[in-house]
Every structure is written in C-alpha cells, then in structure tokens.
Structure 1
Amino acid sequence: MLRHQLIHPQINGILGTAGHHSSILIADGNYPAATKRGPRSELVSLNLMPGVVTCNQVLQAILSAIPIESIQTMETEKDGPYALEGDPPVWEEYRQTIQAAGLEIDLQPTEKWAFYDAVTTPDHILTIQTADQQRYANLLLSVGVRMD
C-alpha cells in the first residue's frame, strides 16, 4: 500500500525509474504535449474535462511521492495577446503547495522557447497533460536525491 498521495499506477511506475536530474513536465491544457517533449518521455493524459485535473493538484501528488530539487515555470510574455503583468495567479498556488510540502524551492521563470528546449532533452521522462485552463501553468520539475 502506498503511503504518499500519488496513486496513479502508470505515473508511479515511471517515477520509480526516475533518477537524479530526470525531469517531469506538468502541462496545462494548452501545452502542445504531442510535439514538445523529450524523446524518452511518456505521456499520461489526465485531462478529463476543462479544469479537471489541474496542474496544482498534480504538483501536490508528485511532491508527496519523490524528491524535487528545482521547478521551472514558463515565463509570461510581456506583450501580445497572451501578455500578463506580474506573475500569473496560479504561481501563488504553487508557492503555497511547495511550502505545505515542507520544501524551500523558488519557482524559476524560464523564457518560453528556452522552456521548450529544456523539456525536449533526453532527461525528460514524463509529461502529465492536465486540463488546467490557467495561462502559464506549466511546470518542469527536476528530480532530486533521496536523503533518508
């Protein structure tokens, strides 16, 4: 019986093979998951209907299961139709979830095309596609080291 919150069998199986520096993408509903992922990445679709499941819910489950050492977000655009001033509201939710997990990790905003480049590396092992409708909700997690 698992002791953490994550109970999805396929995701647990993939995470069980992850090593230090492997990366996991938690993708929002707008992310092009079919084309922007690593060559070894497996795709798990949790997008049941708009807004169900959210990136923050997946983050909470992942943080309960494995050590994470860094988290990148896709930096907001400053002009154009998708521009936002300041941080997207969802980032505050992430900060609260990270703190509730007892971690001291700062979100690392990464320019959009650099974010895509970071996702498409051989270290990227898993993309979890959500139905999150919030803009700039994508997260790229780097697996840490188990210290206990």
Structure 2
Amino acid sequence: MLKHRLIHPEISAILARAGHHAKVLIADGNYPASTKRGPNAELVCLNLAPGLVTVAQVLETLLTAIPVDNVNTMGIPADDPYAKYGEPPAWDDYRQIVQAAALPVSLTPIDKWQFYEAVNSPDHVLTIQTGDQALWANVLLTLGCRVD
C-alpha cells in the first residue's frame, strides 16, 4: 500500500525506473506533447477536459512521491505579447506548492527555447499532459536522490 498521494500505476512505474537527473514534464493543455519530448520519454495523458486536471494538481501530487532537485518553468520571451503582463499567475501557485512540500529549491524560469531543449534531453523520461488552460503553465522537474 502506498503512503504518498500518487496512485496512478503507469506514472508510478515510470518514476520508479527513473534515476537522479531524470526529467519529468508536467505539460499544460497548450503544450505540443506529441512532438516536443525526449527520445526516452513516455507520454501519459491526463487531459480529461479543459481545465481537468491542472499542472498544479499534478505537481502537488508528484512532490509527495519523488525527490526533486530543480523546478523549472518555461520562460516567456521578451518579444512575446504575453511578456508585458509579467509572470503568469500559475507560477505563484507553484511556488506555494514547492514551499509546502518543504523542498530546498526555487522555481526557476528558463528561456522557452532552452526549455524545449531540456525536454528534448535523453534524460526526459515522462510527460504528463494535463488539461490546464493557463498560459505558460508548463513545469519541468529534475529528479534528485532519495536520501532516506
């Protein structure tokens, strides 16, 4: 019986095989998950309906089950029309989730194109596609080491 909140069998199996430095993408509903993923990444679709499930819900659940060294968001290029609005509201939610999980990391945006490159890495093991409708809501986790 599992003690953490993650009960999805396929996601659990992929994470159990993953090691230090493995990357997990939690993708919003706008992310091109069928074409932008690493050569070793498996795709699990949790996009039940628009808004279901959200990146924040998946992030909160995953953090009960895995150690994380880095939490990256897709940074907004300065020439993108959305850039004039500042950080997306979802990022504050992610910071609160990371803080509540007592992780000694901070949310770090990386440039959109570098984000795609990071996802294209052979270390990318899993994309979880959500139905999140928030813009710029993608989160890339880099797994850490289990210390207990």
TM-score with structure 1 length normalisation? 0.96
Superposition misfits of 4+ residues, deviation over 6 angstroms: none
Cα distance between partner residues in 1 of 2:49 and 2:36: 21
- 1:28-43 paired onto structure 2 within 5 Å: 28-43=28-43
Cα distance between partner residues in 2 of 1:123 and 1:8: 21
- Kindly state the Cα deviation for residue 98 of structure 1 after the two structures are TM-superposed: 0.6
Counterpart residue identity of residue 23, structure 1: K
Q: Which moved more, 1:73-82 or 1:36-45?
A: 73-82
Tell me the percent identity: 59
- 1:37-52 paired onto structure 2 within 5 Å: 37-52=37-52
- Kindly state the Cα deviation for residue 84 of structure 1 after the two structures are TM-superposed: 4.1
Match of 1:121 in 2: 121
Match of 1:101 in 2: 101
Is contact 1:78-1:85 (8 Å) kept? no
Give unpaired runs (5+ residues) of structure 2.
none
- Kindly state the Cα deviation for residue 75 of structure 1 after the two structures are TM-superposed: 0.5
Counterpart residue identity of residue 122, structure 1: P
TM-score with structure 2 length normalisation? 0.96
Root-mean-square deviation (Å):
1.0
Match of 1:5 in 2: 5
Give unpaired runs (5+ residues) of structure 1.
none
